[in-house]
Structure 1
Amino acid sequence: MGLVVVHTGAGNFVNEENYKVLCKKACRVATELLDAGGSAVDACEKAITILEDSCHTNAGFGSNLTWDRKVECEAGIMDSKSTNFGACTCVSNVKNPISLARKICDKQSSLFHFGRIPPILLSSDGASEFAKETGITLVTMDQLISKKASNTYNYYRSKINEFERMNLIEVGPLDTVGAIAIDNDGNVAAGCSSGGIVLKLSGRVGQAACYGAGCWSQKVDNHSTAVCTTGNGEYLIKTLLAREISCELLNCDCPTTKLNQVFNEKFLKSPLLPPSQEYYGGCLVIDYNSDTNRGDLLWAHTTKMLCLAYKSSKMKTSKFIASSLPDPNQAGNKVIVSGIPFSL
């Protein structure tokens, strides 16, 4: 028994059908894992690996390329049961970065030899070596470059050469991926995976790998919350948006109203962000009470669209939603918040 929710990023989507098929598959397979006794973090990882394996997303295979045409993936995952968080970044030879993040997350539960504290975040060669040591098969960087990613790179590089200023280019979908899940015990998990923004500087770290920014999950007594975010990584990092949302939802009467308030006050109007900018962001949220077996599935975004899907153990098929702003011209300046109640 449980619930799985996934997204394929916030942005401007041309072909929703690709995301619909992919999201529904990720939900179905992850829910089957929950029904077989898997944990929330198991389901979260499984859903994201399916999203990472698709050429349509900007995560794992198909990740955006850096300015010097390299792949640098990152991912993070958090488990409410253990409160552990694990992440990796600047990884160029791991097919499923979320699985590496999961390994790092699990290692948080015990000290290394000689009392050494295990890492929360590993990067670059250190992350790759850890992956190899823990049984994750490494691949070549070329194996992670999809035709779509290559074409996107060529397009934006040509535009940079033509206009010389990034802000004159209309940026496409921020099609990173994320998932949240809840299991039979009321534990929740959240995770995200990304190839980063198009033409990013080598070594750039986004919100997916940052504690409190890309994902957050916690369980306090009978109340569980899980959040994963997508959008402008630098702004999500500065506002620690995932953690802010989760903590605010623990003490509120109306989750939808509270989510709208948090997005406005702590993102769009945050004093931590540069003024007179467009702030692109989105999130998925689970707010659940294990005493009543009831909760709310919520989503919010300031981009033109956010594609998501969800499936509970009670549902025969996954439900896909392409959420959009009523006025696309307000993208980056206005948030839309939606949600549905659920019971397990």
Structure 2
Amino acid sequence: MLFRSRRQFLKASSLGLSLLAVDRSALARRLAPSNPAPASPIVISTWDFGIPANQAAWKILSQGGRALDAVEAGARVPEADLNNHSVGRAGYPDRDGHVTLDACIMDEKGNCGAVAALENIDHPISVARLVMEKTPHVFLAGEGAMQFALENGFKKTKLLTPDSEKAWREWLKEAKYKPTINVENKLYQPVDKLPGNKLNHDTIGMIALDAKGNLAGACTTSGMAFKLHGRVGDSPIIGAGLYIDNEVGGATSTGVGEEVIRNVGSFLVVELMRQGYTPEAACKAAVQRIIDKKPAKAKEIQVGFLALNKKGEYGAYAIQGGFSYAVCHAQKQDLLIKSKSSY
């Protein structure tokens, strides 16, 4: 650029320095941790039912145990909870009346295992861990996943509970499916208080950092209530519903899984943290990508991300308000935090 006078040069230089200052200010906000790290270990998980799950994980972490053991133990709590109709054996069925479960788990070495469309087995997270540890594969689905579970000592269990069956039969009267945003906050209400066509789903995603500084994560769900038989969401997909990188951090997701899959959401959050984003800022950027691609649809759905970095800093962000997450560390074992959101 040519300058006709010294005054023009100084004016342009001043403007450039001002813009640089603005950029640096924005960068500083992006990098400033919104949740300063407590001393490790720490475990975080999605939704209010993450509190008892975290407490089960904490029993292992507080004794110096491995993050992988902690997230498995934590995920098993909502899987066994008969009042939780979005995770585990009390989950709502698909439109044909089958309860199918999805889960994945990932350790600090990048090892991972997953199961999807698993029927008649009540702890898919533990089956996923065995897939990781006992097979050369990452993912087993359907009848093959059930066969593997039975061969490894799991017992067949009827998953369709009376409450879940009642909700399904109520839904069949109209057989309409439209997800209701944040209906997971109402999961503990009596089934007859929730209209059948407004029942939805959700997931528990967990990430733990142990005393040795290693990360692990788990994600488990019964998926969308009254989904098409065979539908699989983001929860068991490594990189979508869960991703762990022991050099950087981990992320998990909740909400409408199709949109998470399309953006490989949890992997995206971790890669943004690798670039220097805080957990909250990384989650926000991943949410914004979904909104930018489908702005009209985004106003009608919920997707949230939750992340923990290697320093123990954590954060979350969602499309819609109402997403909450649970945090557990040495100072507080039952902390529930409301996530920030775009709408």
Band the TM-score falls in, shorter-chain normalisation: 0.7 to 0.9
User: For the structure 1 residues 60 and 256, does the alpha-carbon distance in structure 2 shift closer, same or farther, using more than 3 Å as the test?
Assistant: closer
Structure-2 separation of matches of 1:139 and 1:71 = 13
User: For the structure 1 residues 297 and 324, does the alpha-carbon distance in structure 2 shift closer, same or farther, using more than 3 Å as the test?
Assistant: closer
Structure-1 separation of matches of 2:339 and 2:281 = 18
Matched, 1:77 2:130: no
User: For the structure 1 residues 216 and 307, does the alpha-carbon distance in structure 2 shift closer, same or farther, using more than 3 Å as the test?
Assistant: same
* Aligned with 2:213 (options 186, 200, 207): 186
Structure-2 separation of matches of 1:167 and 1:206 = 14
Structure-2 separation of matches of 1:24 and 1:189 = 18
**Match of 2:327, as an amino acid?**
Y
**Match of 1:317, as an amino acid?**
Q
Aligned identity (percent) is 25
**Correspondence for 1:151:** 166
Matched, 1:125 2:155: no
**Match of 1:268, as an amino acid?**
I
Matched, 1:299 2:323: no
Structure-2 separation of matches of 1:74 and 1:45 = 14
**Match of 2:93, as an amino acid?**
L
Q: How many angstroms does 1:317 deviate by?
A: 3.2
Matched, 1:284 2:311: no
- Equivalent positions of 1:228-247 (< 5 A) are 228-247=252-271
Contact 1:128/1:138 (8 A) holds in 2 = no
Q: Deviation per CA, 1:59-86, whole angstroms, max 9, x where unpaired?
A: 111112011101111101111x220121
Structure-2 separation of matches of 1:297 and 1:324 = 13
**Correspondence for 2:13:** none
**Match of 2:45, as an amino acid?**
V
Contact 2:203/2:235 (8 A) holds in 1 = no
Structure-2 separation of matches of 1:297 and 1:316 = 14
**Correspondence for 2:155:** 138
**Match of 1:225, as an amino acid?**
G
Contact 2:283/2:305 (8 A) holds in 1 = no
Q: How many angstroms does 1:276 deviate by?
A: 4.2
Q: How many angstroms does 1:154 deviate by?
A: 2.5
Matched, 1:206 2:196: no
Higher relative strand content: 1
Contact 1:213/1:240 (8 A) holds in 2 = yes
**What TM-score, normalized by structure 1, do the two folds share?**
0.76
**Correspondence for 2:94:** 66
* Aligned with 1:2 (options 27, 34, 41): 41
Unaligned runs of 5+ in 2: 1-39, 181-195
**Correspondence for 1:216:** 243
Unaligned runs of 5+ in 1: 9-18, 109-117, 290-294, 326-333, 336-344
Q: Secondary structure at the match of 1:209?
A: coil
Contact 1:206/1:233 (8 A) holds in 2 = yes
* Aligned with 1:250 (options 274, 281, 295): 274
Q: Deviation per CA, 1:3-45, whole angstroms, max 9, x where unpaired?
A: 111224xxxxxxxxxx4xx433221221111122321111111
Contact 1:76/1:88 (8 A) holds in 2 = yes
Q: How many angstroms does 1:274 deviate by?
A: 8.7
Contact 1:216/1:226 (8 A) holds in 2 = yes
Q: How many angstroms does 1:235 deviate by?
A: 1.1
> For this pair of structures, how many residues does the alignment match?
287
Q: How many angstroms does 1:256 deviate by?
A: 3.0
Structure-2 separation of matches of 1:146 and 1:74 = 18
Contact 1:6/1:47 (8 A) holds in 2 = no
Structure-2 separation of matches of 1:261 and 1:147 = 41
Q: How many angstroms does 1:322 deviate by?
A: 4.7
* Aligned with 1:105 (options 132, 153, 167): 132
Structure-2 separation of matches of 1:288 and 1:256 = 14
Give RMSD over aligned pairs. Answer: 2.4
Matched, 1:268 2:295: no
**Match of 1:261, as an amino acid?**
A
Contact 2:202/2:224 (8 A) holds in 1 = no
Q: How many angstroms does 1:324 deviate by?
A: 7.3
**Match of 2:114, as an amino acid?**
A
Structure-2 separation of matches of 1:42 and 1:165 = 37
Q: Deviation per CA, 1:161-203, whole angstroms, max 9, x where unpaired?
A: xxx6758996445332121111112111121111111111111
**Match of 1:51, as an amino acid?**
P
User: For the structure 1 residues 324 and 83, does the alpha-carbon distance in structure 2 shift closer, same or farther, using more than 3 Å as the test?
Assistant: closer
User: For the structure 1 residues 165 and 66, does the alpha-carbon distance in structure 2 shift closer, same or farther, using more than 3 Å as the test?
Assistant: closer
Q: How many angstroms does 1:207 deviate by?
A: 0.7
Structure-1 separation of matches of 2:144 and 2:112 = 18
